[in-house]
Amino acid sequence: MNMKITSAFARDAALCVLILSGLLLAPIGLLSGFAGGMPNRFAAPFVEQWPLLPTLWGSNPVAALQVLMQQPLLVIAHSEPAGGTAAWRLFYYPAPVALQLAVSILAVVTLRAGARDATRRRLMMLLPGMALLVSVTTYVQLASCCTGGPRWALDVWLFSLAYNPGGTLIDWQALYSGIEEALSFVQIALALFGVALLAAGVRRAGDADARANPIRDTSGSSGNPS
């Protein structure tokens, strides 16, 4: 029995790692495709700052917690030539990674709950919410448009359109100036919408499994007649 439990846990853990890896690697593929260049630089600011955190925690726990949340766990970048200014950088902060881990665990629970032949169908029901949550937790920096620090991916995209020297039919600069201050609220709203989509996908998956495996009422099949 213990070996079966251990084996099931190992399978679930491997599936969780696979899903989490997909969520974390998806932005790399998008950046490589749209901004150009494969990643060739890696940094771990969280690990680099770790020796200072115990001392800071002893003197000011609140400040230490802020540092923990604001330090990226990992920064992945592409530079041309190698060692020069990064053409793009992708930042993995603790809170977004924790959210994606929670989403991965929820996906594993949902995928393992029903029949094995319905795994792909249940995954498709979860994908919209997962994709939206990945988009709102992606922080990037593009040398082509903004070098002031990492920003939310949608913010960076709109900023790059607004200050693109090439003219377009849409006045992106006026649009961006009008919504810039509201982008943080848009990010929160989209995150909540992503959670709602994910919850709806879990519910639809459960309903689909219930329809595929209806529960039959057998309460009177084994009782004595009155």
Digit-coded pLDDT (tens) for 52-76: 778 877 788 887 788 778 889 999 9
Closest CA to 106 of 123, 120, 131: 123
pLDDT at 167: 64
Q: Does the pLDDT value for residue 214 go beyond 70?
A: no
pLDDT tier, 198 (very low <50, low <70, confident <90, very high otherwise): very high
Peptide bond into 150 cis (omega under 30): no
Cα–Cα distance between 163 and 146 in angstroms, integer? 10
Residue 187: how many other CB atoms lie within 10 Å: 17
pLDDT tier, 216 (very low <50, low <70, confident <90, very high otherwise): very low
**pLDDT per position as a tens digit, 79-113:** 877 556 788 999 999 999 999 999 999 988 888 77
Domain boundaries, the chain: 2-212
pLDDT at 218: 43
Dihedral sign from CA coordinates of 170, 174, 180, 182: negative
User: What's the mean per-residue pLDDT of the chain?
Assistant: 82
What pTM was estimated for this model as a whole?
0.80
